[in-house]
Structure 1
Amino acid sequence: MKDFTLPVRVYYEDTDAGGIVYYVNYLKFMERARTEWLRVLGFDQSLLPVIFVVRDVQVNYQSPARLDDQLNVQVQLYSQRGARMVFLQQIERDSTVLCQAKVEVACVDRESLRPCRLPETLLQRLPKLDADAE
């Protein structure tokens, strides 16, 4: 499933009073993984003329993560077109899937915050996609 995997350790700050990862923190882990995925492609988001904003998220929580768990956060580019990219993301502990998501990200101009096409330099480095995706 993955194009990129980011290892993440669960810290106390990530958990609720019961020692379980608070649901929104899975989205934070996914955001970090997408940021590191871009970094591996050679892009520092602070230097791009665009920013990426989450437009839509569909999440399926399957099993909880707990304090001190070592997780793997996976990123797979599912589709890209015009001003958007769709990612499939998965969080695992060992080989157990804890959470899956489909995340749509829109590309906007850093100054105007208006939608704009993905930069050509980024498009050139994106992994090749299945013609059947979306």
Structure 2
Amino acid sequence: MDWFWLMIWWFFIVMYLIILFQILGDLFRDRELSGWWKAVWIIGLVVLPFLTALIYLIARGRSMAERNVRDLTQAKADTDAYIRDVAGASPATQISQAKALLDSGAISEQEFAALKAKALA
């Protein structure tokens, strides 16, 4: 029976630490909250940790979720832009750009053939 209660206590300690780190991360991510208010919240988390965490989640839980969604949306947009940038243009686009260079005389027929082969590879 002692192991059971030990596991229950460990569960609550780990859950509290997860909530505490979420709150601290949210405090430092919030650009609208002044440094003084951030300091007050952190002092409260040190002095009365459970009560302060509960008050923080009640008072600022909605804005905490909104900031989290905004950051995730921005991260997804950045990832998508990076993937599009790394993937580059389609082979048809590359060939048409090479053809435009050939037509303008900027590259030779051999260079066009090499660019076309590279795009199709």
TM-score range, shorter chain: under 0.3
Q: Which has the larger helix fraction?
A: 2
Higher relative CO (CA 8 A, sep ≥ 6), structure 1 or 2? 1
- Give the structure-2-normalised TM-score: 0.26
* Greater Cα radius of gyration, structure 1 or 2: 2
- Give the structure-1-normalised TM-score: 0.24
